[in-house]
Structures are given as structure tokens and as C-alpha cells.
Structure 1
Amino acid sequence: MTSLGIFLRGALMGAADIVPGVSGGTMAFITGIYDRLLAAIRHFDLALLRLLLAGKFKAAWQHVDGAFLLALVAGIAISMLSLARGISWLLENHPVPLWAFFFGLILASTLVLIRQVPAWTFLRSLWLVIGTGVALTIALSPIVGFAGGLTGVFLAGFIAICAMILPGISGSFILVLLGMYATILAAITQFDLTVLVVFAAGAGSGLMVFSRILHWLLQRAHASTMALLTGFLLGSLAVVWPWKQVLDWVVDRHGELKAVQQIPVSPAQYLTFTGNEPQVALCTVLMVTGFALVWFIESRYGSVGSEG
């Protein structure tokens, strides 16, 4: 796998992670680098520390698959920095068509993950239902809201990174539920180093812990874990459904109304509740486009979930 190929996969992950409801972990999975990514993260361990203390920097670099991580992180960072303003503007000015595109992405990603479960037994089907239920509960819940300050930023990073690495769970959406999405997006667009460094520290800490838990689950109960992850992804479709009715609002610190709880509705109901044009034709085209894009990526990069 070339450095350019890894960089482009990182760019896809970064684009996905900045969007509430879309998972960078899903992009890593369908582009064939998921196992390699988990392995690289798990190698940030005591063996690495011993190599560094011994001055064996080349061996340490190879131990963590440094060339792979450097290309991947560069792709993620450049993608997030370049797309943050555009995504923020689209979410503000054209949310319905944008969510329609995301819906197509997630629907196709769900089907990709379903194919990774070799045989659907009762237990695996049960895990699928549980995952779907958990995701729906999260999706339809009101925003929790985190305490402000750098402590809240650190904890948000710790929790959100666990979601970002999972196929089917959106770290950005977790930030939305925690009431921290706007804060982190603003930090990215304004390049607020203090907030970004603290968030990165929280994310790094969470990544070290959660990658090991996920590796353990995938090693001992791969099919059931994949069924659970597929359920997460299936339930998250409620998050990215384009037409929603707002059930509850709050006034944010800028004095503006902010939706804190929404439920999916039909285009006709959306028109009734909001008075806005549902743009059904455009949304349908964008759903199909998003769906086709995921299938193109999956077919272009070969075997899903392996190094490819």
C-alpha cells in the first residue's frame, strides 16, 4: 500500500469524522486499513517506551508503524482543516440536502458491514437489535451538555474518540450529544491551539484505552462484535435522516436558539412543521450519490477490513 493511498484513506476518514452522524471508523473499515490501524494504535505500549528510553528511535518508529500513521494522520488533519468551514456553512445554510447525502453514505456503509458477519445466528441477530436500539436511543435523546472549560474539552475528546474509531458510531455526533460540537468545530476553524491540544490529549488517552478493548472483543467474538457495530450503524440512520421535527430548544451562550432534541418525520410532515421546502428530488439524487460513493470506495479498495 503506497503512502499516497494511505493519505487518501486518511482524507476520507477526516471528512467523515467532521460530520455528525458519519464515522471515520467506517471509512477505515471499508477502505481496508481498519486492522492495521488498530494494530498500530495498540503498539503505543511499554515496549515502545523502552525503545525510546534506549534511544532506539528507528526501531520505535517501526514498532508503531510510523510511516503508516504519519501518512494517515496527515490525510485526516488536512481533510478536517480544509473541510471544516465548508461543512459548517452547509450545515447552517443547506442542512436537508447535506443530510440526505450523509444518509446515503450511512445506508451503504450498513450493508457493507452486514456482509462482514459470516452467518446470522439468533445471538448475532440479537446483538444487531441491541446495537440498533442503543444507537436509536442516543439519536433520539436530548443533548446532555458538558461542563465548559478545558476539563470538558478533555473529557469530550476521551469519549468521542471511542466513537470515531468504531465503524458505525460517529464521534462528531457524540460531540453533538455532549454539547461540544460547536466548540470543537470553532476551535478547528479558528485554529485555537489550546482547545485543540487539550482535545487531542483527551482523544489520545481514550484511544489508548478503547483500542485495546475493541481488539480484545474482535479477537474473541468477531462475528458478534461486528453484528453489534452493524446495529450501531443501522440505528444511526435516524441521526442523518434529512427531515426532522425539533421537539426541544435551548438558548445557547450567544443568545441563539439551538435544537436539542429531534425526531425523523416524512417530507410532507417536515413541510407542515417548518414551512420549508423538503427538496425531495434533490435529496433523492444525493442519497443515491452517497450510496454509490461508498460502494465505489469498497469495490475500488478491495477486501474490506483487511490491509487490502
Structure 2
Amino acid sequence: MGYSVDERLVERLSMFRIYAYGLCMGTADALPGVSGGTIALLLGFYGRLIAAITSITPTRIWTVLNGVRPGNRNSAREALLEIDVGFLLPLGLGAVTAVALIASAVASLAESHPVALFGFFTGLIGASAIVLYRELRVRTRTDVLVAIAGVSLALLIAANVLELPGSGAITIVFAGALAISAMILPGVSGSLILILLGQYVFLSGELSAFLSGIAGLAGGGSLEAVLDPGTTVVLFVAGGLVGLLSVARIVRAALDRHRNTTLIFLVSLIAGSTPAPLHNIGETHTWTTDTIVLAAVWTVVGAIALFALDRLVGGFDPE
């Protein structure tokens, strides 16, 4: 028996609402300092998001892939329902749309106005650490040591004292695993992880180039313009899938067993990451008085924007 017109309209409106959720979540994760997981909490779909993501297992993925055989289609359909693909697909499309749009803007601003861009990001990150710390209880000696460890680790990575293992493809896959895992955690932004690892501008540029290359194919552009940045995008997505099946589950288990301590560590990583965007400014500008003043002004603007958002939604809760 087919759907009625009313049922189809309700279903399409529901899909559009989930797509809009994805737009909001993707926008948040594309900007350091605001977490997509926090947006999911504020909009009321965080529980469904975590349930859907943790339902993705190698066994279910294999069952879906085997659905190409006629005899396995019922099993594949059941696996898709268990994964809640009707929710994840429009949500993912919305998030990808937002990330693609912002990546293009970031790639352009990183070249034309790097001091303003990264000063703004510094304010976002620093202010987010402040508002998130307000929700935590740092009482015991262990809490203090964990906070110091998180801040120190972030500072060492931002200063390139600690570097990622390997280079090239390995770095991209590793960054993808950590960033995608961070996207589902309240309080931690995927883009913040990329900034901390020194990959944010590079990956934004590659994604922008990939999308431009695809658009250019319609006008007779070269396939090479798509393949080169496309390889980077594929590696990042592959790392993201690995992260969802491994790193994200480890962090969720840590939150279940040691919630406050784990959150202190995560928020401390954010605090220690505050000066990370300033390294991008130092790569293109000498730290003159004018540069310092301009960066400081945009840092204040970023902080005000985050505090205003915090006030608007009634406070951010890291979990």
C-alpha cells in the first residue's frame, strides 16, 4: 500500500529538518571553538546521533555491501534500518554542504586576510574553553594533573615540539580519524583538532580545489585538477571512517567510565590550543605592532561572538 500525499509531505519535511540539522552541525564543526556535538545537544538529536554512529559496525557494513545480491537484500535493508540511514544520510549531506561552503571561504580568507581570520579563530577557541570550564568540576589533585596534561599536550603539538607520526597520506588519514571523532563530542570541534595538527588551512584548500575541479569539468577542465585534491579528500574521509569505528568508541567509553576526568582533559586540550591559530599568522606576517593590534582586535571579536552565542543558547554543556 502506497504512501498518502500527507505522509509523503511529512516525510519530506522530516528529511529537510534533519538536513537543516546537518547544516547547523557542519557549520559549527567547520569553525574552531564551536562543537557540532554541542549543536546536536542544543537541537535535541545528540542521543539519536550517538546511537546511529555506534550502530555502524564492520558486520553491518559488510551486510549492506552484500545487498547487491538479490538473496541478501532483506538483510541489507534491515542493517540499513539498524544504522538509521534515514537519519544519518540527510544529516551527513547537510554537514558536508556546510563544511564545503565554509572551506571555500576559509581558503580564500587565509590568503587575503589571514590576520583577521586566525585572530578571530583564536578568540573563538579561548572563549569556548572558558565557557566549557565553567561547567566542569576541577577539585581533586587528579583533576588538576589531567588539566595540566591536556593543556601541555596541546601547547607542545601547536608549537611543533610533538609532531604527527609519518607524513603525507599517513598524516591526512590520522588527522581525519581524530577530527571526525571530535565532531561527535560535545565541546570539541573537528576543525580545532585540524588547527592543532596544522592541517586546517591545507585541508580547507584541498576541499575547495576539489569542488572547483568538479565544477570545472563541466566547462572542459582537466581531470587532474580533480584527482590531485580528490586523493586528499578520499584519504581524509577514509581516516574519518576509521575514527568513527575506533577512536570515537574509545572516547565514548572513557566518558561513560570517567566522565568528569575525560571532559577535563578534552576541554584542557581546547584551552591549550588557543594560541595555535597564531602560528598561521606568523607563517605569513612579521609580528609588527600593527599585526599584533589587528590580531588582538579580531581575537576580541571572536571571543565576543562565542560569549554571545553562549548567552543566546543559555550556556554550553560539554556533555
Residues 229 and 35 of structure 1: CA distance in aligned 2, closer, same or farther (over 3 Å): farther
Confirm or deny: 8 A CA contact 1:169 1:236 kept in the other structure.
Answer: no
Among 15, 18, 22, the residue aligned to 1:10: 22
1:16-66 Cα deviation digits (max 9, x unpaired): 443467654454455554444333221112562576455234432331222
How far apart are the structure 2 equivalents of 1:46 and 1:282?
Answer: 45
CA distance in 2, matches of 1:109, 1:177: 15
Is structure 2 residue 312 aligned with structure 1 residue 292?
Answer: no
Q: Deviations over 1:124-176 (max 9, x none)?
A: 3332222222222222226847533x455434423443444445555445445
CA distance in 1, matches of 2:170, 2:311: 40
Q: Is the contact made by 2:119 and 2:299 (CA closer than 8 Å) also made in structure 1?
A: yes
Deviation at 1:213, TM superposition (A): 0.4
Give TM-score scaled by structure 1 length.
0.72
Q: 2:257 matched to 1:220?
A: yes
Which piece of structure 1 moves more, 32-41 or 22-31? 22-31
Query: Could you say which structure has the higher strand fraction?
Result: 1
**Is 1:85 aligned with 2:104?**
yes
Distance in structure 2 (CA, Å) of the matches to 1:130 and 1:32: 32
RMSD: 3.7
The correspondence of residues 144-155 of structure 1 with structure 2, limited to 5 A, is 144=163, 147-148=167-168, 150=169, 152-155=171-174
CA distance in 2, matches of 1:290, 1:16: 11
Correspondence for 2:155 among 124, 133, 136 = 136
Post-superposition offset of 1:294: 3.8
The unaligned stretches of length 5 or more in structure 1 are: 247-257, 263-268
Q: Which amino acid aligns with 1:216?
A: A
Q: 1:51 to 1:11 in 2, by over 3 A?
A: same
Q: Equivalents in 2 of 1:120, 1:171: separation in Å?
A: 28
Identity rate, percent: 34
Q: TM-score, normalised by structure 2?
A: 0.70
- Where does structure 1 differ by over 6 angstroms across 4 or more consecutive aligned residues? none
Determine the structure 2 residue equivalent to 1:124: 143
User: Which structure has the greater CA radius of gyration?
Assistant: 2
Hey, which of these two has a bigger chunk of helix by percent?
2
Distance in 2 between residues matched to 1:277 and 1:303, nearest whole Å: 30
**What is the match of residue 236 of structure 1?**
273
Cα separation, 1, equivalents of 2:237 and 2:162: 22
8 Å contact from structure 1 (residues 21, 240) kept in 2:
no
Cα shift at 1:217:
0.6
Partner of 2:222: none
Q: Number of residues paired by the alignment?
A: 280
